């Protein structure tokens, strides 16, 4: 499918549909009239096969108790095998009402209060929140960020694991918001450190399907022919890939039987759940029928990225756009345009943001974005930009950013 056909068919106005991204701006950003380049979902309808299957189920008209059926596991495993060479046995799979809730469960299940939980900023801010909300010790090892590239600081990881009695690593792969797709050698080196020190790894791979420019995602349990699989919990979902987040459904894969039983005990006594049939059904159908849709979507995202990157490079050389290997959420470094050093903070979306940056981004450019400061302290002058949207919006927003920046410099 060509990009134009995809856009003609799937691009949709989401306003006035209780849509968080558009209709909740006033609550989160204090005003309505902003371009929503924030939360990671999209303006595109899901693949036809998903909508048709949901319609059939809705027409049946009964939404009683259900269970996770065989063809669900089969579709999930086929997708993982075809795309990542990782077939998954149904016994290993558990489901959850979203990736973020599952992160809270893992922390409760596998760690004690005051245990160290390691994350690598800049990282998806619920990673920070799930550790502090559960009274665990947040152990931070920033990614090394040099020449617009991000890398893992292995020496620091090992040092902090020993110093802070780290029990759990919550890892993001591909990484949001560094937009890195980790190479297998990088994962191998990181996981070997965790193995040496008995650290359990939770690998959040919700962005697995968004890789670009030849970068290949490796599921954590597959690294080095499965060398670390017994200490890995993988969590992923079709929700980000196929715009199904409102159906609150995700997958958990635990190969190690002992960990799986521990998790089952935890779930049974703390978060007993029934199956959400619509979430399961949409996920199965997306994995079965979503391939061409996803290919076209990625084409749109990549064109949007090129527009952003090339326009900014040409017009504002002091502003840096991250290299987009994975996700659809690159960071933009505005720190050489706006000096945030020692700047007063204002609260946006319940989190602090440098006042001058907020003034430029929200008041002048009229954008609602995720601010770098939310992902890591060292990213005060950054914003994260959601590219999974209408190219016309991307064009308008990028052009506005450039013209406002030029006015600021004048």
Ligand X SMILES: Cc1ncc(COP(=O)(O)O)c(C=O)c1O
Binding site for ligand X (CB under 6 A): 40, 98-100, 124, 172, 176, 204, 206, 237, 239, 245, 250
State the minimum distance, in angstroms, from the CB of residue 246 to ligand X. Answer: 9
Measured from the CB atom, is 239 or 325 closer to ligand X?
239
State the minimum distance, in angstroms, from the CB of residue 392 to ligand X. Answer: 23
Q: CA–CA separation, 242 vs 314, rounded Å?
A: 33
State the minimum distance, in angstroms, from the CB of residue 112 to ligand X. Answer: 24
State the minimum distance, in angstroms, from the CB of residue 356 to ligand X. Answer: 27
DSSP secondary structure letters along 30-84: S-S-SEE--SS--SBPPPHHHHHHHHHHHHH---------HHHHHHHHHHHHHHH
Cα dihedral 255, 215, 168, 162 in deg (nearest 10): 130
Measured from the CB atom, is 37 or 40 closer to ligand X?
40
Measured from the CB atom, is 244 or 337 closer to ligand X?
244
State the minimum distance, in angstroms, from the CB of residue 400 to ligand X. Answer: 24
Handedness of CA 232, 122, 176, 43 (dihedral sign): positive
Measured from the CB atom, is 176 or 231 closer to ligand X?
176
- CB nearest ligand X: which residue? 98
Measured from the CB atom, is 100 or 200 closer to ligand X?
100
Measured from the CB atom, is 208 or 304 closer to ligand X?
208
By the 8 A CB rule, do 90 and 231 touch? no
Kindly give, in sequence order, each residue whose CB lies less than 8 Å from that of residue 155, ignoring residues fewer than 6 positions away: none
State the minimum distance, in angstroms, from the CB of residue 114 to ligand X. Answer: 25
State the minimum distance, in angstroms, from the CB of residue 40 to ligand X. Answer: 3
By the 8 A CB rule, do 299 and 3 touch? yes
Given its phi and psi angles, is residue 137 left (phi above 0), alpha (psi -120 to 50 degrees) or beta?
A: beta
Measured from the CB atom, is 43 or 204 closer to ligand X?
204
Question: Which residues on neighbouring strands pair with residue 371, listed in sequence order?
Answer: 383
State the minimum distance, in angstroms, from the CB of residue 237 to ligand X. Answer: 5
Q: CA–CA separation, 98 vs 246, rounded Å?
A: 9
DSSP-assigned letter for residue 122? S
Q: CA–CA separation, 40 vs 33, rounded Å?
A: 19
DSSP-assigned letter for residue 229? G
Measured from the CB atom, is 126 or 352 closer to ligand X?
126
Q: CA–CA separation, 145 vs 35, rounded Å?
A: 29
């Amino acid at each position: 499918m060509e990009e134009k056909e995809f856009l003609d068919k799937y691009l949709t106005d989401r306003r006035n549909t209780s849509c968080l991204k558009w209709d909740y701006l006033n609550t989160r950003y204090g005003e309505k009239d902003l371009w929503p380049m924030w939360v990671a979902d999209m303006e595109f309808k899901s693949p036809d096969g998903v909508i048709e299957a949901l319609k059939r189920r809705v027409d049946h008209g009964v939404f009683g108790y259900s269970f996770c059926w065989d063809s669900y596991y089969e579709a999930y495993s086929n997708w993982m095998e075809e795309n990542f060479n990782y077939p998954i046995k149904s016994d290993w799979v558990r489901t959850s009402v979203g990736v973020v809730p599952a992160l809270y469960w893992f922390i409760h299940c596998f760690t004690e209060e005051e245990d160290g939980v390691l994350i690598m900023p800049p990282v998806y801010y619920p990673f920070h929140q799930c550790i502090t909300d559960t009274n665990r010790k947040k152990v931070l090892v920033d990614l090394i960020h040099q020449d617009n590239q991000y890398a893992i600081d292995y020496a620091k990881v090992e040092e902090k694991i020993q110093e802070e009695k780290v029990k759990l690593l919550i890892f993001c792969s591909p990484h949001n918001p560094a937009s890195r797709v980790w190479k297998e050698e990088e994962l191998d080196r990181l996981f070997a450190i965790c193995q040496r020190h008995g650290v359990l790894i939770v690998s959040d791979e919700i962005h697995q399907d968004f890789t670009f420019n030849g970068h290949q995602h490796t599921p954590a349990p597959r690294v080095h022919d499965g060398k670390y699989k017994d200490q890995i919990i993988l969590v992923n979902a079709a929700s980000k890939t196929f715009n199904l987040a409102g159906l609150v459904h995700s997958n958990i894969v635990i190969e190690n039987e002992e960990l799986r039983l521990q998790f089952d005990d935890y779930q049974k006594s703390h978060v007993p759940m029934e199956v959400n049939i619509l979430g399961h059904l949409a996920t199965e159908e997306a994995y079965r029928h979503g391939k061409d849709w996803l290919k076209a979507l990625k084409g749109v995202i990549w064109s949007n990225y090129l527009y952003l990157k090339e326009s900014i490079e040409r017009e504002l050389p002091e502003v840096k756009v991250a290299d987009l290997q994975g996700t659809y959420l690159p960071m933009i470094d505005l720190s050489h345009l706006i000096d945030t050093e020692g700047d007063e903070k204002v609260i946006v979306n319940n989190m602090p943001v440098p006042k001058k940056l907020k003034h430029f981004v929200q008041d002048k450019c009229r954008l609602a974005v995720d601010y770098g400061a939310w992902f890591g302290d060292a990213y005060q002058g950054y914003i994260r930009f959601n590219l999974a949207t209408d190219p016309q919006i991307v064009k308008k927003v990028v052009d506005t950013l450039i013209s406002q920046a030029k006015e600021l410099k004048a």
